[in-house]
């Protein structure tokens, strides 16, 4: 259900999902989600269980990919750039020494093994609305 809706919208935006996602002028092969100064591109992505999503910082600002602990399925393993085990630790690390920060060209990946909805955020740009969602289908 999500996939169809996403693809319909993605088509308009020029995004192709399927092994390698591309967004002209932003994403290169092998990346699924890129980043502008204050956005994840695309901000909604639908994948299948078992898929690995690759984020790449395609901007010149430092960003994080940090899952909302209450925004992922209960049985899913927590994820955050920097490899932190939970959201509190990820936020403390960022606030303390920019832990988990992705610089231009840095990548972060996560293999989705549990279906459901995953909401995540960029800690330094949360107030600017830099958060996004991955939908994982069976």
130 binds Cu ion (CB under 5 A): yes
CA dist., res. 78 & res. 72, Å (int): 8
Residues 103-122 that bind Cu ion (CB under 5 A): 122
* Binding track, positions 14-53, relative to Cu ion; x by CB under 5 A: ----------------------------------------
Maximum pairwise Cα distance, the chain:
41
Which window, 39-47, 71-79, 103-111, 127-135, contacts Cu ion (CB under 5 A)? 127-135
Closest Cα to residue 17, out of 7, 30, 28?
7
Closest Cα to residue 138, out of 120, 115, 119?
115
* Binding track, positions 58-97, relative to Cu ion; x by CB under 5 A: -----x----------------------------------
Q: Residue 105 CB: number of other CB atoms within 10 A?
A: 9
User: In the complex, which residues of this chain contact Cu ion (CB under 5 A)?
Assistant: 63, 122, 125, 130
């Amino acid at each position: 259900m999500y996939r169809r809706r996403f693809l319909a919208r993605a088509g308009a935006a020029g995004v192709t999902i399927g092994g390698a996602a591309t967004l002209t002028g932003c994403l290169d092969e092998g990346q699924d989600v890129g980043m502008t100064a204050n956005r994840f591109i695309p901000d909604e992505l639908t994948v299948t269980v078992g898929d690995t999503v690759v984020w790449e910082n395609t901007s010149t600002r430092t960003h994080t990919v940090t899952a909302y602990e209450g925004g992922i399925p209960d049985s899913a393993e927590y994820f955050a750039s920097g490899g932190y085990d939970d959201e509190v630790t990820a936020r403390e690390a960022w606030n303390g020494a920019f832990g988990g920060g992705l610089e231009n060209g840095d990548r972060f990946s996560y293999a989705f093994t549990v279906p459901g909805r995953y909401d995540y955020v960029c800690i330094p740009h949360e107030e600017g609305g830099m958060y996004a969602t991955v939908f994982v289908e069976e």
